[in-house]
Amino acid sequence: MAMEESKKVVCVTGAGGFIASWIVKQLLEKGYTVHGTVRDPSNNAKCGHLKQLPGAGERLKLFKADVLDYDSIVPAVRGCEAVFHTACPFFWKFDTPDDVLVPAITGTENVMRACSEEKIKRVVMTSSGAAVMFDPDRPEDKVVDERCWTNVDHCRKNERWYLVAKTEAEKTAWKFAEEKGLKLLVVCPVYVFGPLLQQTLNTSSEYLKEVVEGSRNPSPSSYIPLVDVRDVAKAHILAVENEAALGRYFCVALSVSHRDVLKSVKEKFPELRCCAHEGVSETSIGIPHAGRYDGIPPEKIGNKKTTELIGGFIPYEQTLFDTIASIRERGFLP
Ligand SMILES: NC(=O)c1ccc[n+]([C@@H]2O[C@H](COP(=O)([O-])OP(=O)(O)OC[C@H]3O[C@@H](n4cnc5c(N)ncnc54)[C@H](OP(=O)(O)O)[C@@H]3O)[C@@H](O)[C@H]2O)c1
């Protein structure tokens, strides 16, 4: 979609979320008219920030919709050129597996069905590195990129329900797209950091806060793959605008050790009491993952396809600093 066609209408599901808010912001900046779905338009804590975005007054319309309620989705996607499906619960722990499996999988089915019925030209789904990275059978020397899939049976056995949910939801979307001839693009971001637009603390921002304040202790040598939320939003939009875009995009700027993350943050914010964690041996990189992972080393990260789509990533230290500044501004860190 070129700028001269700037009056095009698009829909973003789960518009008040961390990533979706940035997609909405960038879409409005580019002149799009945006239909944003939210579960409760009157909840200012969750969607008040959307109404403040430049251009929102004229070109953002919020629709009350739950992805589990097919009929609520249809009016939001009706008349849209493209739909960005981001809505999905993202937490580490759920009371029951269905708390994430059902909204992820059935929610995706409902959105895809509505898109098919309403003849939407392009659907961009926010999947996750959770659907790409976790396979204990993958050879150590293999580069991880969008050709990789998480081993869902292994994750199911280990009760890693978020990983199962994201993988199954994405597979559901591909199956549906193929059967119905729908044009689907999928963005698979790893840990997403960067400035918050919303006032609440989303799960990935909370992870960084906990690492910095020392209440979460990943092994210093373990790697965390990360990407800036502004680049993630850009990838979603370019997946629609770039006619040549195709398939999955593993959206990762780089993989960095927790030791280096803390070092950078401490240098920039010496007044913050960052704990060093040396010697602590929690091997998790945060997502409670299956298998032997201690994170993916930098040289095994394959981000060529997304680099070509978006033209390069925001430097990771900038991402970290902007996240911390934003979290502090909202009072979640001293
Ligand atoms: N942040 C990351 O590091 C990361 C990495 C990879 C992939 N992702 C994916 O990115 C997407 C957005 O995540 P986020 O980090 O932006 O999290 P977030 O801020 O918690 O946003 C999640 C959004 O999903 C909505 N939602 C949940 N269940 C819904 C339902 N049944 N019907 C409609 N909306 C529903 C939430 O709406 P309410 O406000 O009404 O609760 C919220 O707007 C998710 O698909 C997540 O799996 C995130």
Contacts of 304 (CB under 8 A, 6+ apart): 145
Pocket test for ligand 1, best of 37, 40, 90 (most atoms within 8 A of CB): 90
pLDDT tens-place string over residues 301-323:
999 999 999 999 999 999 999 99
Q: Ligand 1 mean position to 228 CA, how many Å? A: 16
Q: Ligand 1 mean position to 86 CA, how many Å? A: 6
What confidence tier does 1 reach under pLDDT thresholds 50, 70, 90? very low
Query: CA-CA distance, 112 to 130, in Å (whole number)?
Result: 20
Asked if residue 288 has pLDDT above 50, the reply is no
Q: Which 3 state secondary structure label does DSSP give 124?
A: strand
Q: Is 166 a catalytic site residue?
A: yes
Distances (CA, A) of 233 to 152, 163, 280, 286, 319: 27, 21, 35, 22, 14
Residues in the chain: 334
Contact assessment for residue 165 and residue 225, using Cβ atoms and an 8 Å cutoff: no
**Catalytic residue, candidates 25, 166, 209, 234:** 166
Mean pLDDT for the stretch of residues 25-43: 97
Which pLDDT does position 140 carry in this prediction? 86
What residues line ligand 1, using a CB cutoff of 6 Å?
14, 16-20, 38-39, 46, 66-68, 86-90, 103, 107, 126, 128-129, 166, 189, 191-192, 202, 204
Which pLDDT does position 92 carry in this prediction? 83
Which pLDDT does position 295 carry in this prediction? 87
Residue 272 CA, distance from chain mean position? 27
Pairing, β 9-13 against β 33-38: parallel
What confidence tier does 273 reach under pLDDT thresholds 50, 70, 90? confident
Which residue's CA lies nearest to atom 18 of ligand 1? 17
**Which H or E element spans position 171?**
helix 161-180
Q: Ligand 1 mean position to 13 CA, how many Å? A: 9
Question: What are the structural domain ranges in the chain?
Answer: 7-329
What confidence tier does 287 reach under pLDDT thresholds 50, 70, 90? very low
Q: Which two tokens stand for residue 194?
A: 């960067």
Q: Ligand 1 mean position to 290 CA, how many Å? A: 22
Mean pLDDT for the stretch of residues 220-236: 97
> When comparing pLDDT for 281 and 209, which is higher?
209
Sheet containing strand 223-228, edge to edge, reads: 191-193, 223-228, 254-257
Which pLDDT does position 275 carry in this prediction? 58
Contact assessment for residue 188 and residue 124, using Cβ atoms and an 8 Å cutoff: no
* Homologous superfamily of the 7-329 domain (CATH): NAD(P)-binding Rossmann-like Domain (3.40.50.720)
pLDDT tens-place string over residues 156-169:
999 999 999 999 99
What confidence tier does 271 reach under pLDDT thresholds 50, 70, 90? confident
Which pLDDT does position 303 carry in this prediction? 98
Q: Give phi and psi for 39, each to the nearest 5.
A: -75, -30
pLDDT tens-place string over residues 101-147:
999 999 999 999 999 999 999 999 999 999 999 999 999 899 999 99
Whole-number mean pLDDT of the chain? Answer: 92
Which residue's CA lies nearest to atom 33 of ligand 1? 66
Which pLDDT does position 274 carry in this prediction? 66
Q: Which two tokens stand for residue 44?
A: 């200012």
Please report, rounded to a whole number, the percentage of residues in the chain having pLDDT higher than 90. Answer: 88
What confidence tier does 294 reach under pLDDT thresholds 50, 70, 90? confident
What confidence tier does 291 reach under pLDDT thresholds 50, 70, 90? very low
CB-count burial class (<10 Å; 0-12, 13-18, 19+) for 125: buried
**Which H or E element spans position 29?**
helix 18-29
Which pLDDT does position 231 carry in this prediction? 99
pLDDT tens-place string over residues 169-225:
999 999 999 999 999 999 999 999 999 999 999 999 999 999 999 899 999 999 999
Looking at the CA of residue 40, tell me the nearest atom of ligand 1. Answer: 40
